[in-house]
A and B are shown apart, each in its own frame.
Chain A
Amino acid sequence: MEQYFRELSSTLFTGLAAGEILLLNYQGEDSDFVRLNHNRIRQVGHVRQQSLQLDLIHRNRETSATLQLSGRLDEDSAQAQHALGRLREQLPLLPEDPHLNYAAEVHNSIYHGEDQLPAPEQALEQLMTAAQGLDLVGSWAGGEMSRGFANSLGQFNWHRGHNFNLDWSIYREGDQAVKQNYAGFEWNDEFLAQKIACARETLALLGEKPRQLKPGKYRVFLTPSALNELMDMVSWGGFGLKSHRTAQTPLLKMVREEGRLHDTVTISENHADGFTPRFTRAGFIKPDQVELITAGQYRGCLANARSAREYGAEVNCASESPQSLEINGGQLHQNDIFSALDTGLYISNLWYCNFSDRNHCRITGMTRFACLWVEQGRPVAPIDVMRFDESIYRILGDCLEGLTHEQEQILDSSSYEWRSNASARLPGALVKEFTFTL
């Protein structure tokens, strides 16, 4: 599609009037989706979608349209020209835009990831065979994803990758289940088999009578997956320049009242480590890394094109919500987690988080899947699901005892409208006090 996007762009740029600037963003996906329940196929299909966003700029005004492409140049050109006609009618009716911002310098880039995906039918055969006799439920999403940017100033960027995201749970009974994920670019039969074997071991433990915890404060270990759920909430306005300047960030206390996290906590948006394109929808190139919190103290924000113009900052992201978040690893080694936890709760997954007091970054949510009660360094039983209500200032601040040395890279399995290419690289966290309420 790269060549097609070049041709389509060229056609549209040729027709521009004097003074007009056109930004084009292409998004394409060729994906298989297979949904499983009871280790059998519930729904299976393929989605091919291609869209084009046109941002027309003239006399400091901007308006945009998004349309689906058919892949036939004459038809798509006509459709895009029609859309441009509508935008041209709108532009004179708009006031000047003081926050208009687009890349004026030309930075071209091309990235083609190698296609090393397995045939999805075969990967699923292996999964269902390995999980024979188990109650497996989950989904496969895989295929090609591509993004392109072109502007009438001469810039062209292309990013194409192929990946898969196999996300599943294996249930023992009721809500007792092991959650697992295997995502990446290259398939490994043995790795999958090991995962399922590991799940079978944990399932045996889930057969123990679940502990019913009373509300109160408990010592806990949060796996990288559980911490990721919490960071998804913090990322909801936590690191964006606009939310900081309008006092809506849940980290407001860090800016206004010298609130801080534990000095072992360093958080960054690591663009270079992620899988999103390095160009933004306005044509800017992202830096390798943006430091957000350094040694527990607020350091900086993510600024998209409009915020950067409004507040006089440099553009350093496409989205003010992190897409490649990293928390640095600490000193706790993976093999020492249970002994360091001693007696408490091993939290494999959290679920459905939301703010109970945004001003204090206090988050509520639920435990989910194989959360285990641990006694004297040994997991002994699952627990019935519990609701927590706790502040990030305590979880990653006063109550943090340690972060694991090892980090886990988590590829986002979400697929609203399009498959996501966001990711996070996170350690696990040992927390001496974590509040459960229900």
Chain B
Amino acid sequence: MLTDWQSIIDDFKNVVPGVEFWSLRLVHDETEMLSVREDVVQPPNLAQSRGAHISFIDRGGMSYAATSALTREGLAAACEQAQRWLEASRRHGLIDATQVPRPELSGHYATDVATSWDNWSLRDKLELLQDINRSLRISPAIVDWQAHLARRRTDIRLVTSDGVHIDQQFHYIIPGYAAVANKGAQTQERSGGGWGSSRQGGLEQLAGFNFPDGARQVAEEAIALVDAPECPVASADVLLMPTQMMLQIHESIGHPLELDRILGDERNYAGTSFVTPDMFGSYRYGSDLLNVTFDPGLAPEMASYGFDDDGTPAERTHVIRDGVLLRPLGGVQSQARAGMNGVATARACDWNRPTIDRMANLNLEPGNSSLKELIGSIEYGVLMDTNRSWSIDDSRNKFQFGCEFGRLIENGELKGLVRNPNYRGISATFWRNLAGVGDAGTFEVWGTPNCGKGEPNQMIHVGHASPACVFRDVEIFGGE
């Protein structure tokens, strides 16, 4: 445990005013970042975030205060701030605070770590990153190259006035490398080794990201993409690899199913949803091949946990089964407001923000087709790998996504590279064109640490695991 919470909890109990319900969420987060860019070791950084989030419910009002001052005086000042806002909440609150469900179960969760961060010395880690730099710098055409390796550890304790006590300890590993190739006014970047993603666990997770072994291939592909033809403009099939499926799931299934968006909370910022409450239970979201689960138990996936930050136990649940929409992604507050079942996804990015509905681990379940069979099913199309551009409307319907890497597929066979592969579509129809779902052999665990939402803004990690998938009749195009 990073911090001895008990003395802070004791201090808090000594200063907390008499309210009907309180909860105290204590968070200690540490991130250590190492990186080497263009063979130069960048200054390492050890970032620590530690603070308390206090929530009150009292006589119909509901408010919070957060502080990094974990002294008795600091906690007392935070309690005063939360109390100050209770009255405004009572008079103008949107939610009947007396109806907000309270956590009932205590418990704990901890990430499994096989190889600890400290098993490798700082010198070993930096040498590895320098080796990767050498593997990336294979030609004068490579104009920028870098590798990073970080670890994050987060301890969260939630205690409530009802006696609930939840401890969760998370360990993350954050690796990646990238190479940028250029000729004239044409630049192409290729990334790998987990770049832009993360996993729970220790250094044993690196192999699953092909870290460091894929570095040279990344550089070779960046160089090849510079001279590759543009992705054709056509209506064609696309084969999306898990590194792009992750983004497709995130933007056009995850966000539209967030219950707070459906309830309108996000309309001023992150947006609303084309999904309405009456669709659950009957709406055909995709083809029969589409099965999507909220799965907090897939061990190395980023957003695995035992409880959400409101203290609700988390369990695997289908949100889409055989193409039919079943459940939204919403925690107990949103469920109470909407009068419908959700899943345990009330999460806060840190101690300084309140919980809102997030998507956590949202996965597309494997099907039965091998990668070879998926390719073989395509007469004319493009394989797209590794997301690099994402844009979707505020109802999460009209989207346009782009990838780092594309390969033509003709008559069931992979052909040459294409650069700047982009595609666009509409969520409400795109998933109904899902024509092939890869088997477990194509299934990969990804996610992003940078999902933004909420007012005040919150950046949080989410997990998305998926097989490779084929979609029919998609509008594809390239650059220029």
Q: Which residues of A contact B (CB under 8 A)?
A: 31-38, 40-51, 55, 62-72, 75, 83, 86-87, 90, 93-95, 97-100, 121, 124, 128, 137-139, 141, 167-169, 171, 175, 177, 179, 246-248, 252-253, 256-257, 351-360, 362, 364-366, 368, 385, 387, 389, 414-417, 419, 437-438
Q: Contact at A415–B456, with CB atoms within 8 Å? A: yes
Contacts of B92 in A (CB 8 A): 40-41, 124, 128
Would you list 20 pairs from A and B whose C-beta atoms are within 8 A, ordered by A residue? A44-B63, A46-B84, A49-B352, A50-B68, A62-B43, A64-B44, A66-B47, A68-B48, A93-B122, A137-B267, A139-B456, A141-B455, A169-B267, A175-B394, A257-B184, A352-B390, A356-B402, A357-B479, A385-B394, A417-B352
State the interface size on chain B (CB cutoff 8 A). Answer: 83
A385–B182 CA distance with the chains assembled, in angstroms: 36
Q: Contact at B272–A175, with CB atoms within 8 Å? A: yes
Within the complex, which residue of B126, B144, B459 is in contact with A416, where a contact is CB–CB below 8 Å?
B459
Chain B contact residues: over half helix, strand or loop, or mixed? Answer: mixed
B93 CB within 8 Å of chain A: yes
Q: Contact at B64–A45, with CB atoms within 8 Å? A: yes
Q: Contact at A43–B64, with CB atoms within 8 Å? A: yes
Chain A contact residues: over half helix, strand or loop, or mixed? Answer: strand
Q: Contact at A68–B41, with CB atoms within 8 Å? A: no
Q: Contact at B48–A70, with CB atoms within 8 Å? A: no
Contacts of B287 in A (CB 8 A): none
A364–B143 CA distance with the chains assembled, in angstroms: 26
Q: Contact at B391–A366, with CB atoms within 8 Å? A: yes
Q: Contact at A121–B64, with CB atoms within 8 Å? A: no
Question: A44-B88, A83-B48, A364-B400 provided; 10 other pairs, C-beta below 8 A?
Answer: A44-B62, A44-B64, A47-B66, A48-B66, A68-B49, A70-B68, A139-B455, A247-B144, A353-B391, A437-B424
Query: How many pairs of residues, A versus B, come closer than 8 Å at their CB atoms?
Result: 258
On whether A257 and B185 interact (CB within 8 A), knowing A95-B41, A169-B267, A360-B480, the answer reads yes
Q: Contact at A359–B185, with CB atoms within 8 Å? A: yes
Within the complex, which residue of A38, A75, A139, A248 is in contact with B94, where a contact is CB–CB below 8 Å?
A38
B420 CB within 8 Å of chain A: yes
B73-81, B169-177, B293-301 - interface stretch = B73-81
Contacts of A419 in B (CB 8 A): 456
Q: Which residues of B contact A (CB under 8 A)?
A: 40-41, 43-51, 62-71, 73-74, 77-78, 81-82, 84-85, 88-89, 92-95, 121-123, 126, 143-144, 180, 182, 184-187, 189, 263-265, 267-269, 271-272, 350, 352-354, 389-395, 398, 400, 402, 420, 422, 424, 426, 452, 455-459, 478-480
Q: Contact at B457–A387, with CB atoms within 8 Å? A: no
- Which of A37, A98, A128: most chain B CB closer than 10 A? A37
Least distance between A389 CB and chain B CB atoms (Å): 7
On whether A385 and B398 interact (CB within 8 A), knowing A175-B272, A352-B393, A356-B479, the answer reads yes
A310–B480 CA distance with the chains assembled, in angstroms: 32
Least distance between B217 CB and chain A CB atoms (Å): 21
On whether A247 and B68 interact (CB within 8 A), knowing A47-B352, A353-B391, A358-B187, the answer reads no
A48–B81 CA distance with the chains assembled, in angstroms: 10
Least distance between B168 CB and chain A CB atoms (Å): 20
- Which residue of the partner chain A has the closest CB to B80? A46
Q: Contact at B81–A45, with CB atoms within 8 Å? A: yes
On whether A75 and B71 interact (CB within 8 A), knowing A45-B82, A139-B456, A416-B459, the answer reads yes
Contacts of A100 in B (CB 8 A): 43
Within the complex, which residue of A93, A246, A356, A416 is in contact with B400, where a contact is CB–CB below 8 Å?
A356
Q: Contact at B68–A45, with CB atoms within 8 Å? A: no
Q: Contact at B391–A55, with CB atoms within 8 Å? A: no
Within the complex, which residue of A71, A124, A362, A416 is in contact with B69, where a contact is CB–CB below 8 Å?
A71
Contacts of B186 in A (CB 8 A): 359
Contacts of B46 in A (CB 8 A): 64-66, 83, 86-87
Contacts of B66 in A (CB 8 A): 45-49
Within the complex, which residue of B88, B93, B144, B272 is in contact with A124, where a contact is CB–CB below 8 Å?
B88
Contacts of A67 in B (CB 8 A): 48, 50
On whether A416 and B389 interact (CB within 8 A), knowing A385-B394, A438-B424, the answer reads no
Contacts of B43 in A (CB 8 A): 55, 62-64, 94, 97, 100
Q: Contact at A360–B479, with CB atoms within 8 Å? A: yes
Contacts of A362 in B (CB 8 A): 479
Q: Contact at B456–A141, with CB atoms within 8 Å? A: yes
Contacts of A33 in B (CB 8 A): 455-456
Q: Contact at B45–A65, with CB atoms within 8 Å? A: yes
On whether A137 and B74 interact (CB within 8 A), knowing A64-B45, A437-B424, the answer reads no
